Amino acid sequence: MNAPQSLPLEFPVFDNSFAALPEAFYTRLQPQSLPAPYVVGISSEVAELLGLPPALLESPEFAEIFAGNRQLPGAEPLAAVYSGHQFGVWAGQLGDGRAHLLGGLRNDLGHWEIQLKGAGKTPYSRGADGRAVLRSSIREFLCSEAMAGLGVPTTRALCIIGADYPVRREAIETAAVVTRVAPGFVRFGSFEHWSSRRKPLELQQLADYVIDTFRPECRVAPNPYDALLRDVSRRTGELMAHWMAVGFMHGVMNTDNMSILGLTLDYGPFGFMEAFDAGHICNHSDHQGRYTYRNQPHVGQWNLYRLADAFLPLIKSPQQARAAVDDTYGDAFAMAFERLMLAKLGLRNGLPDDEEFIGNTFAFLQQHRPDFTLFFRTLSKLPAVKIESTAGPATIETTAGPRVNPENQAKTDAPLRDQFIDPAACDAWLASWRARQAQTPWSDAERQSAMLAANPKYVLRNWLAEKAIRLANKKDFSEVHRLLTCLRKPYDEQPEFEEYAALPPDWARGLEVSCSS
């Protein structure tokens, strides 16, 4: 294939801060071009973040640029090196095996790095072809933007570019490139790499780069590297809380897939919880169940301990390095998780027993297995006042708002009760929820509005992504566009997308995803 051609085009100016590091941190190389590329999907929101000229999105050059066929002015493409633990085992050197960092830019909205995923082989490909396929690219593109819509810290995705270029996975598929965007792509494994090689100078250079570029407030601390590790621990704890609250499962939480900036990074065999099972394994390559839903907070901490080990040459004291994690991660996770769960449950103010109530709620979900997203969304619309009398009109006015009469209780609660094989168990839990609501009462209108803003109606269920993928394989990208539009506003009702809130159809029950997804 021919080398990419430069393209004179109005474009935001690159600053390429990562490329300014010594060349030991990466290999400079051009993406491999794809023949006859075409646009599968574009996120206009990310285009605005980058300050891309609107005319570029409509131009024939767009697909050429983000397939890796033409070089943006000022870009300095490279593939970064890192190492890491995979499934709890040290894997040694890894690196960007199918990603090319084009460069970074800074504008009024922040610092952004642009990376092509699937743009060809690199020195870190370890025998692989360096390509991504349309299937996995659609999943990453949609989930990156879905997580942003949910308010979860994440990398973003500008576009998917496809091509009728064969790539072998389990079967022959077509190639695609997804353009990822984030403030930075430095990973836990980036630090593990230099620590494992006993290269304290490079380790410090990387830490200084992260501090000076992203966390300048750490520089004024007595030990800036201790401050950085504490910042990473806090942000990772908050990220894990967000994942748990929306029912997201990453599927492959290796240390090379953990962002030093506390972002959700590397979408592969992810999944959103449907019928609740805390032990659900969303990655069928995870034979030991290391990355189940319930294990994510524990794995987050384990990964931070590996990062703390890598920071030892900077912090000097093993006890201090471990304390940087222990003093911050657990509290950050617990506080964020309780805050998010109180919002999901519509509890106006926290009380000392709320941790127990939240725990009992998850035990209830585990026993009865309702759909996670549908359960909380439906709960958001129910009245919070317990019915106590059979007499009187259809509703009774109270200081807390209208109260439904008992004869209407089953009908009122039916949308939630109908999700349970044992409706009596649902009634019992609702009674406890309403009793808790009575301790910090507020009007149903306010509470319901707040709960609807905390409980999404739409998440990227695997069957939705699969439907878009099957159509895209026939060159019909309409479902990619529709899903992207819907998932940008997951908390809105959007009746035109009502079918996306439904339970999985029968054909989707056997869907599996793996690390190749």
Tell me which amino acid residue 372 is: F
Let me know: does 471 contact 477? Beta carbons within 8 Å.
yes
Q: How far apart (Å, rounded) are the C-alpha atoms in residues 490 and 483?
A: 10
Q: Which tokens in the block code for residue 189?
A: 């494994």
Let me know: does 18 contact 26? Beta carbons within 8 Å.
yes
Tell me which amino acid residue 109 is: L
Q: How far apart (Å, rounded) are the C-alpha atoms in residues 170 and 4?
A: 30
* DSSP letter (8 states) at residue 153: -
Helix (H, G, I), strand (E, B), or coil: what is residue 346?
Answer: coil
Instruction: Give how far Cα 179 sits from Cα of 67, 114, 186, 407, 419, Å.
Output: 9, 7, 17, 56, 39
| Catalytic hit among 226, 231, 256, 413 | 256
Q: How far apart (Å, rounded) are the C-alpha atoms in residues 37 and 311?
A: 43
Q: How far apart (Å, rounded) are the C-alpha atoms in residues 219 and 32?
A: 39
Q: How far apart (Å, rounded) are the C-alpha atoms in residues 230 and 324?
A: 5
Residue 280 CB-density burial (10 A; 0-12 exposed, 13-18 middle, 19+ buried): middle
Does 286 participate in catalysis according to the annotation?
no
Tell me which amino acid residue 452 is: L
Q: How far apart (Å, rounded) are the C-alpha atoms in residues 111 and 109?
A: 7
Helix (H, G, I), strand (E, B), or coil: what is residue 224?
Answer: helix
* String of DSSP letters for 384-453: -SPP--S-SSSEEEETTEEEE-GGGHHHHHHHHHTT-S-HHHHHHHHHHHHHHHHHS---HHHHHHHHHT
What residues are labeled active site? Answer: 256
